[in-house]
Chain A
Amino acid sequence: MTTNANSWNESLINGWAETQQKYWETWGEFAKNSGMGLFGGGNGQGSAANPFAANPLATNLFAQNMFAQNPFAQNPFTQNPFTPNPFASNPFAQFGAGENPFTGMLEQWWSSVKPEAQGDIGTVVQRFYDMGKSFMSMSEGLFGASGQEQPEAAMSMWMASMQAALQQWIAQIQANIDFATPDLPGVSGTTLTSWAQFADSVAPWLNVSQGYLKEIAEGHLPGGIEVPGVGAAQEQFLRALSMPGLGYTREQQEHIQGLARHLLAYHDALRAYKLAFAKTALASLESVQKRLQALHEKGEKIESLRALYDMWVDASEDAYAGFAMSDEYQVVYGDLVNALMQVRKDLNEMAEQHYHLMNIPTRSEINTMQHRQQENRRENRQLRHELAELRAQIEQLGAVKPAASRTRGRAPTQDSLPIDDVEDDLTMIKGIGPKMAEKLYEQGIKNFANLAAMNAKFARDLDESLKTQGRILRDDWVGQAKKLIR
């Protein structure tokens, strides 16, 4: 194979076919090992099951658009506007209209592996696929534009076409007619795509809400309007939405009007975010160009796709970081989240109204219960904690035998008043042993004065609760105590 860059000749094309063949052998091996048997487990060599055996890419497996199974298929952000490859001078045009050979084989592989890779692994495989796709789209940028004399020129052309695509996108956003995010190397609009997925999960019909807005607009404005989200049409629509509701369905009308206003606000916020994002993508492209220029000035060359990709990622990350730290980002990001939440809130409220009519418990009712329950649990914990502390204190008091012994033998003087904190050695009374003394301490009876103050009824009750079988009265604890303090 010659080293000349303009030699996209037959031998190279043949080389490409070989590459495909090799790739499918590997793939067939993998399919066999993972027990998928999708292609009869064949190793591909000349096998009829090999999709490339007859005519490479002719039996295009991914003709049935892999995005068909994508739950976000209707989502305008996730569709690739470059599906019809902008690189018209693609040498593989003969293989199939506008197919990207690199991404193509990745997609084909993916459409086969996807059903088998479930759970955690499936998610990771998806990430590999996304990354690989963006890497391959970069390769195609170089490979596909090879009608040029030099790869350098191919690269320039590719970058120029990306720049043009971004500028076009920005113009579309401004006119509110953008329906797709350009596929950029490195991240493929992942930020926007993943936002769209998150937004979908929060408010599942956001992606059709443009259509919904249009329906409302038709209900509010004679003849409706084409795109309710922008410019004078939006103003007109907003005015219509602020008409007071009338009659029996007044409340419902107001809800719908509110939702429509908030949907408009969301689409506005999303547009502002996308616009800022698109401008950043443009800036990252400039940053790539600057780095290339710097390399050129240093006389260095990029010698692999991977090196180019890494440089691209670094440059893009830098440009993005500048954007993400800006005041503008703080505003557009916050507005976007807030607008989404407002829509979600409206949806929740409307849903609750319906549930209420059907006598089905609602989230806000459950919230009320959970809130009260959590407060009760907190209070309960606190009370139990206090109870345990008190119990521990009492036990400590009951166990203070040594403290009691300090007063052993000390006859309380007659003039000392019965202070509850004073601890006497109750075992000095006939009929009270150490165990009984402890029980009495637990009852709060700690000194002779306490005992002496008992009347007959109290003594009987105490006798019963301590199960002393009449000993208190029989042994005359009250009389003994009185003598001791006399």
Chain B
Amino acid sequence: MIPFKMRPDEILNEARGFNEKLAQGVGNLMDVGDIPSGVTPKEAIYKEDKMVLYRYIGDEPATNKTPMLIVYALVNRPYMTDLQENRSTIRGLLDAGQDVYLVDWGYPDAADCYLTMDDYINGYLDRCVNVIAARHGVEKINLLGICQGGAFSLCYSAMHPEKVKNLVTMVTPVDFKTPDNMLSRWIQNIDIDLLVDTQGNIPGEMLNWTFLNLKPYQLMAQKYLGVVDLMDDPQALKNFMRMEKWIFDSPDQAGETFRQFAKDFFQGNKLMKGEVQIGEYTVNLRNVRMPVLNVFAEQDHLVPPDASKAMKKCVGSKDYTELAFPGGHIGIYVSGKAQKTIPPAIGEWLNAR
């Protein structure tokens, strides 16, 4: 028995209404115009190869004298933290008195495929930290790492603890083999060496295909249906397009970095075991003794909460705080609720230290 109550004319009306909205909406879509990659004013401080270090300009001078560096993942682009004026984690951090810097990794091309995690973390990132520390005449700065960038920040803090005053990690995986980690399950049977040796860099489309397939019905179909209802509102449509642009703006990932991240982190789960070797360093999370704020999303389908919470028993810090957000991997940066709670909480935590 099908519990279905619709008259044919109602079906017809709904279908007609849908098509009309869609046709009209696409008209509005054409008028959306250029979508900016980030909205908060910023200045480039330091450049190296394709990497740029930015400093964001707040309305008021920062009250926290220790500058903060945001380390974003290599997948996707960092403007997710600065999508629109009222949806900007960076704006929120500025308003919370932080002096915000961000490292933009750029789009690696085939000639960058030999960039290793050592190059990224002990090279680019370390030099960014040095530049910021020198500018402010301080020895230590605050680090805020996001997702894969969180794992990078964690490694950096373990290798260079003398340069990190406080560490904030957001949706950062530490235990890569929690039973609910779909992404990790998928990667276990993949011959990473064959993949990297054959492809060089890992194409952004491949990474994107993988991420979207974690929830294909919602992410590739249903969400567009939902937007059809908003399509007569140009502002809502523009906001939708900001997110859409971001989701499909996927840089390729440098082959050698992907090789180590996939093999050592995802397949070997070596970060937890203290067996990750980066350049001349063995990454021992016990060296992470500075205060740590670990922020995770309770409905994260990419980095399950348990993957993040494993950090607690791995780091050497006595001042370890967890902050759980009731939302998803992306919602933690862009949802209205997150705007009101997350950046102020981070600011407060940092200002108290």
A in complex with B: yes
Report the 10 A-B pairs with minimum CB-CB distance, sorted nearest first.
A334-B189, A301-B5, A131-B224, A374-B114, A152-B2, A296-B3, A30-B27, A295-B3, A317-B217, A19-B16
> DSSP class of B's interface residues: helix, strand, loop or mixed?
helix
Distance (whole angstroms) from the CB of B248 to the closest CB of chain A? 7
Q: Given that A34-B30, A125-B29, A378-B119 are known contacts, is A190 also in contact with B4, CB under 8 Å in the complex? A: no
Task: Indicate if the CB atoms of A7 and B8 lie closer than 8 Å.
Answer: yes
Find the A residue at minimum CB distance from B218. A317
**Which residues 331-351 in A have Cβ within 8 Å of B in the complex?**
331, 333-335, 337-338, 341-342, 344-345, 348
Task: Indicate if the CB atoms of A305 and B6 lie closer than 8 Å.
Answer: yes
Task: Indicate if the CB atoms of B6 and A371 lie closer than 8 Å.
Answer: no
- Asked whether any CB of chain B lies closer than 8 Å to the CB of A61, the reply is no
Task: Indicate if the CB atoms of A146 and B217 lie closer than 8 Å.
Answer: no
**Which residues 164-215 in B have Cβ within 8 Å of A in the complex?**
180, 182, 185-186, 188-191, 194-195, 197-200, 203, 205-206, 209, 212-215
Q: Using Cβ atoms and an 8 Å threshold, which residues of chain A touch B185?
A: 324-325, 329-330
- Name the one of B19, B115, B186 contacting A23, with C-beta atoms under 8 angstroms: B19
Q: Given that A152-B1, A334-B190, A374-B114 are known contacts, is A131 also in contact with B225, CB under 8 Å in the complex? A: yes
Q: Given that A121-B29, A309-B225, A341-B195 are known contacts, is A156 also in contact with B2, CB under 8 Å in the complex? A: yes
A and B contact pairs by CB, cutoff 8 A, 28 listed: A5-B7, A7-B8, A12-B9, A26-B20, A26-B23, A102-B19, A131-B222, A132-B19, A136-B19, A142-B11, A143-B15, A152-B1, A191-B213, A194-B209, A292-B2, A293-B1, A296-B2, A304-B14, A305-B6, A305-B14, A310-B222, A324-B213, A325-B182, A334-B191, A341-B194, A367-B200, A370-B113, A375-B114
Find the B residue at minimum CB distance from A156. B2
Most interface-central of A121, A301, A329 (chain B CB within 10 A): A121
Q: Given that A124-B244, A320-B216 are known contacts, is A27 also in contact with B23, CB under 8 Å in the complex? A: yes
Q: Using Cβ atoms and an 8 Å threshold, which residues of chain B touch A191?
A: 213, 216
Distance (whole angstroms) from the CB of A86 to the closest CB of chain B? 19
Distance (whole angstroms) from the CB of B182 to the closest CB of chain A? 6
Q: Mark B280-324, 1 if CB is under 8 A from A, else 0.
A: 000000000000000000000000000000000000000000000
Q: Given that A22-B16, A34-B27 are known contacts, is A128 also in contact with B32, CB under 8 Å in the complex? A: no
Apart from A187-B216, A344-B199, what are 18 other A-B pairs with CB-CB below 8 Å?
A19-B16, A117-B30, A120-B35, A121-B29, A128-B26, A136-B18, A151-B2, A186-B217, A190-B216, A190-B221, A292-B2, A305-B15, A313-B222, A317-B217, A330-B188, A341-B198, A370-B114, A374-B114
Q: Using Cβ atoms and an 8 Å threshold, which residues of chain B touch A296?
A: 1-3
- Asked whether any CB of chain A lies closer than 8 Å to the CB of B75, the reply is no
- Name the one of A121, A334, A344, A381 contacting B32, with C-beta atoms under 8 angstroms: A121
Q: Given that A292-B3, A345-B194 are known contacts, is A139 also in contact with B11, CB under 8 Å in the complex? A: yes
In angstroms, Cα B222 to Cα A310, docked, is 7
- Asked whether any CB of chain A lies closer than 8 Å to the CB of B245, the reply is yes
- Asked whether any CB of chain B lies closer than 8 Å to the CB of A123, the reply is yes
Task: Indicate if the CB atoms of B225 and A306 lie closer than 8 Å.
Answer: yes
- Asked whether any CB of chain B lies closer than 8 Å to the CB of A109, the reply is yes
Find the B residue at minimum CB distance from A302. B4
Q: Using Cβ atoms and an 8 Å threshold, which residues of chain A touch B194?
A: 338, 341-342, 345
Task: Indicate if the CB atoms of A146 and B245 lie closer than 8 Å.
Answer: no
Task: Indicate if the CB atoms of B220 and A341 lie closer than 8 Å.
Answer: no
Q: Given that A5-B7, A188-B221 are known contacts, is A124 also in contact with B195, CB under 8 Å in the complex? A: no
Task: Indicate if the CB atoms of A3 and B7 lie closer than 8 Å.
Answer: yes
Distance (whole angstroms) from the CB of A102 to the closest CB of chain B? 5
- Asked whether any CB of chain B lies closer than 8 Å to the CB of A303, the reply is yes
**Which residues 110-169 in A have Cβ within 8 Å of B in the complex?**
113, 116-117, 120-121, 123-125, 127-128, 130-132, 134-136, 139, 142-143, 146, 151-153, 155-156
Q: Given that A313-B217, A325-B182 are known contacts, is A381 also in contact with B188, CB under 8 Å in the complex? A: no
- Name the one of B6, B9, B23, B35 contacting A303, with C-beta atoms under 8 angstroms: B6
Task: Indicate if the CB atoms of B14 and A329 lie closer than 8 Å.
Answer: no
- Asked whether any CB of chain B lies closer than 8 Å to the CB of A300, the reply is yes
Q: Given that A15-B9, A295-B3, A305-B6 are known contacts, is A131 also in contact with B186, CB under 8 Å in the complex? A: no
- Asked whether any CB of chain B lies closer than 8 Å to the CB of A308, the reply is yes
Q: Using Cβ atoms and an 8 Å threshold, which residues of chain B touch A321?
A: 182, 215
- Asked whether any CB of chain B lies closer than 8 Å to the CB of A355, the reply is no
In angstroms, Cα B25 to Cα A33, docked, is 12
Distance (whole angstroms) from the CB of B23 to the closest CB of chain A? 5
- Asked whether any CB of chain B lies closer than 8 Å to the CB of A8, the reply is yes
Q: Using Cβ atoms and an 8 Å threshold, which residues of chain A touch B22?
A: 106, 128, 132
Find the A residue at minimum CB distance from B197. A345
Task: Indicate if the CB atoms of B221 and A187 lie closer than 8 Å.
Answer: yes
Q: Using Cβ atoms and an 8 Å threshold, which residues of chain A touch B6?
A: 142, 151, 302-305
Q: Given that A15-B12, A370-B114, A374-B115 are known contacts, is A106 also in contact with B19, CB under 8 Å in the complex? A: yes
Q: Using Cβ atoms and an 8 Å threshold, which residues of chain B touch A130?
A: 220-221, 224
Say which size band chain B's interface belongs to.
Answer: 35 or more
- Asked whether any CB of chain A lies closer than 8 Å to the CB of B336, the reply is no
Distance (whole angstroms) from the CB of A18 to the closest CB of chain B? 9
Find the A residue at minimum CB distance from B224. A131
- Asked whether any CB of chain B lies closer than 8 Å to the CB of A16, the reply is yes
Find the B residue at minimum CB distance from A124. B244
- Asked whether any CB of chain A lies closer than 8 Å to the CB of B278, the reply is no
Q: Using Cβ atoms and an 8 Å threshold, which residues of chain B touch A94?
A: none
Task: Indicate if the CB atoms of A187 and B188 lie closer than 8 Å.
Answer: no
- Asked whether any CB of chain A lies closer than 8 Å to the CB of B352, the reply is no
In angstroms, Cα B114 to Cα A295, docked, is 56
Distance (whole angstroms) from the CB of B57 to the closest CB of chain A? 27
Q: Given that A23-B16, A130-B221, A317-B215 are known contacts, is A333 also in contact with B114, CB under 8 Å in the complex? A: no
In angstroms, Cα B27 to Cα A346, docked, is 46
- Asked whether any CB of chain A lies closer than 8 Å to the CB of B24, the reply is yes
In angstroms, Cα B218 to Cα A320, docked, is 11
Q: Using Cβ atoms and an 8 Å threshold, which residues of chain B touch A374?
A: 114-115, 119
- Asked whether any CB of chain B lies closer than 8 Å to the CB of A316, the reply is yes
In angstroms, Cα B20 to Cα A29, docked, is 11
In angstroms, Cα B335 to Cα A302, docked, is 30
- Asked whether any CB of chain A lies closer than 8 Å to the CB of B234, the reply is no
- Asked whether any CB of chain B lies closer than 8 Å to the CB of A283, the reply is no
Task: Indicate if the CB atoms of A345 and B198 lie closer than 8 Å.
Answer: yes
Task: Indicate if the CB atoms of B200 and A335 lie closer than 8 Å.
Answer: no
- Name the one of A113, A301, A338 contacting B4, with C-beta atoms under 8 angstroms: A301
Q: Using Cβ atoms and an 8 Å threshold, which residues of chain B touch A338?
A: 189-191, 194-195
In angstroms, Cα B5 to Cα A292, docked, is 12
- Asked whether any CB of chain B lies closer than 8 Å to the CB of A232, the reply is no
- Asked whether any CB of chain B lies closer than 8 Å to the CB of A465, the reply is no
In angstroms, Cα B69 to Cα A302, docked, is 51
Q: Using Cβ atoms and an 8 Å threshold, which residues of chain A touch B5?
A: 301-303
Q: Using Cβ atoms and an 8 Å threshold, which residues of chain A touch B51?
A: none
Distance (whole angstroms) from the CB of B131 to the closest CB of chain A? 13
Q: Mark A176-200, 1 if CB is under 8 A from B, else 0.
A: 0000000000111011001100100
In angstroms, Cα B191 to Cα A375, docked, is 25
Task: Indicate if the CB atoms of B11 and A313 lie closer than 8 Å.
Answer: no
- Asked whether any CB of chain A lies closer than 8 Å to the CB of B45, the reply is no
- Asked whether any CB of chain B lies closer than 8 Å to the CB of A358, the reply is no
- Name the one of B20, B200, B221, B228 contacting A134, with C-beta atoms under 8 angstroms: B221
Q: Given that A121-B30, A187-B221, A378-B119 are known contacts, is A143 also in contact with B190, CB under 8 Å in the complex? A: no
